[in-house]
Amino acid sequence: MSLALRWYPPAWVQIKTREKTIYLDPSYLKKYFKDHPTAREYSNWPDEVDGLPDDLEKADIILVTHHHKDHVKKVTVDRISGPDTLIMAPGRVEKALGNRVRVVAPGDELELDEVKIKVVPAYNTPEGSSTRKFHKLGEGVGYLLEIEGHVIYHAGDTDLIPEMDGLGPVDVAFLPIGGTYTMNVEEAAQAALRIQPSLVVPIHHLQADPQDLQVELRGGGMKVRVLRTGELLMIGE
């Protein structure tokens, strides 16, 4: 079966099946959506800015990798949530979203109808290429999702870590490349070569050029797709 994927800055991913809509790290930040054709704001400073692309569907599942506001924002989660939306996140996200969060940690696994979710580690390392070590071991996570025969990996904010060697087969890997709080382009390329996904999508760009990841992985046996904000990516057609 096919999946419809979209990316929104900095690390927000939408996954759609025939039955479910899943979001990872939804957080509206005005600077990232200034050129998006359907984004509009519903509130203004000093209130928390609430603006989203108009065509976003309500979520069945929301997965949050960690508590930083560029990865989770209550006003964003409120707008895309319905009464039955399941929200999964590490414990520190409860401060932002309250007790509606189902707290998860690396090693947790959950199966919801056709969606299997595995929680995996994500963190900065002393030797990693990130220059600001804000993501401590145990505070953030990544996710592996198995959906209708496809495996999607969202790495969260992380450096290259040993746990990436044990992820198993991956069809699409969303990897950060920003280099300040996460892996840089070169380290993301090393991660991709370890994981060996069929397709790599760079996220959390900051000042990095995602096209550079294509250059780094040229000849590595995998495809790299650089997405524009909100661009549709179909998998399995």
> Which residues neighbour 2 within 8 Å (Cβ) at sequence distance 6 or greater?
234, 235, 236, 237
Q: What is the pLDDT of residue 46?
A: 65
Q: How many CB atoms lie within 10 A of CB 99?
A: 7
Residue-wise pLDDT for 152-173, tens only, equals 999 999 999 999 999 999 999 9
Residue 224 lies in a domain: yes
Least trusted range by pLDDT, from 62-66, 113-117, 185-189: 113-117
Q: What is the domain count for the chain?
A: 1
CA atoms within 13 A on the CB side of 167: 33
pLDDT band at 13 (very low <50, low <70, confident <90, very high): very high
Q: What is the pLDDT of residue 53?
A: 72
Torsion of CA 68, 116, 77, 234, to 10 degrees: 100
CB 120 within 8 A of CB 163: yes
Q: How many CB atoms lie within 10 A of CB 102?
A: 11
Amino acid, single-letter form, for residue 146:
E
Rounded mean pLDDT of 98-103? 93
Residue 219 lies in a domain: yes
> Which residues neighbour 114 within 8 Å (Cβ) at sequence distance 6 or greater?
17, 19, 20, 147, 148
Q: What is the C-alpha separation between 7 and 17, in angstroms, rounded? A: 15
Residue 54 lies in a domain: yes
Q: Which two tokens stand for residue 177?
A: 């490349």
Question: What range does the domain containing 81 cover?
Answer: 3-231
Q: What is the pLDDT of residue 125?
A: 97
Residue 236 lies in a domain: no
CA distances (Å), 215 to each of 10, 90, 186, 188, 189, in order? 21, 34, 10, 12, 9
Residue 237 lies in a domain: no
Q: Which two tokens stand for residue 186?
A: 């070169």
Phi-psi category of residue 95: left, alpha or beta, with phi > 0 → left and psi -120 to 50 → alpha:
alpha
Residue 101 lies in a domain: yes
CATH number of the domain residue 72 falls in: 3.60.15.10
Q: Strand, helix or coil at 74?
A: helix
pTM value is 0.94
pLDDT band at 30 (very low <50, low <70, confident <90, very high): confident
Residue 142 lies in a domain: yes
Helix H or strand E encompassing 143: strand 140-147
